[in-house]
Amino acid sequence: MLNDDNTNDGILNFYSWDTDFESTLVLDECVYPNSYNVRLSFLPRTSEVQLQNNSFDRIKYLFSTLCQNAVITHHQDPLQTVWFKMPVNKILLPGPPYDQLFARCLFKKITAISGKYLHIGQLTLDSHLGDNIQYTVDNDSYEDKSVGEAPWKDSIGGEAWWDRNDTATFDQRLDAKTIWVGAKSWRDLGYGSDAPKKPFNPTIINGGKN
C-alpha cells in the first residue's frame, strides 16, 4: 500500500491493467472508426479492500461504458450540436482529438474519480488511427494548457469534466443552475465510498482430470 511519505513513482512496483475500446473519432468534419489500447499503472492508497475495489470499478466503468462506442469530438467541431442531440456516449475534448490530448484528459479523469484511494502512476494510450504510437502520461508530463482549463469554463461556471469526480465525459449546461454530471452517479452504480460491501463471488474453472 502507498503511504503519504512514499510517492516517488520511480521506485515503486505498480500494478498494471490493460484494456481496449472502440469509438468514433470526429476530425476535420470527418467521422472515423477507431480502436484504442490503454495500459494503466496504479497502487492502493488504502488498506480497505472495498474502497480499492470501488475505485477500480469506477475506472473500468469509464472505459467499458463511457468510452466504448463513444463519439470523440472537440469544442470547435461544427457538428457538435448534431452529436449532442443523439443518444450516444460523447467525449468532448478541449482541442482536436489526437491521442496525446485524449490520454491526458483520461489520466486527469481517472485521478479525479479514483485518486483518493488509488495512486495513479501512468496511463499509456495508442490507437489504430494513431499508427499505434504509444503516449504515456503521468503527473510529471508536459501539461498542455488547453487541458488545464476548458475553453468553455465560463459557460459552465466550474471545473471541466476531467477534473470532476462524476460520470460525465463532456460539459453541458442544462439550466441556469445545473450542469451535466453524468447519466448516473457513482452511488447509483454502487461504486460510492459508502456502497454496501459486495459478496465474494469467485468464478470456478473446471480444470478436468487426467
DSSP, res 14: -
Per residue in 44-91, pLDDT (tens digit) is 999 999 999 999 999 999 999 999 999 999 988 888 888 888 889 999
Per residue in 101-115, pLDDT (tens digit) is 999 999 999 999 999
Segment 4-28 shows an average pLDDT of: 79
pLDDT for 177: 84
Query: Quick one: CA dihedral 167, 89, 159, 124, positive or negative?
Result: positive
Higher pLDDT, 28 or 64: 64
The answer to whether the CB of 12 falls within 8 A of the CB of 6 is yes
Q: Residue 93: which H helix or E strand, with range?
A: strand 90-93
**Plot region of 54 (φ>0 → left; ψ -120 to 50 → alpha; else → beta):** alpha
The answer to whether the CB of 94 falls within 8 A of the CB of 147 is yes
pLDDT for 31: 94
What is the number of alpha carbons within 13 Å of residue 37 lying toward its C-beta?
A: 12
Residue 30, strand partner residues: 27
> Which residue, among 31, 32, 23, 100, has the nearest Cα to 63 in the 3D structure?
23
Q: Which three cell numbers stand for residue 125?
A: 494510450
Residue ranges covered by each domain of the chain? 14-189
Sheet holding 15-27, edge to edge: 90-93, 71-74, 15-27, 30-44, 118-127, 135-137
- The per-type count for the chain, helices as H runs and strands as E runs, is 6, 6
Question: CATH classification of 14-189 is 3.40.50.11540, yes or no?
Answer: no
Per residue in 141-160, pLDDT (tens digit) is 765 555 656 666 666 667 89
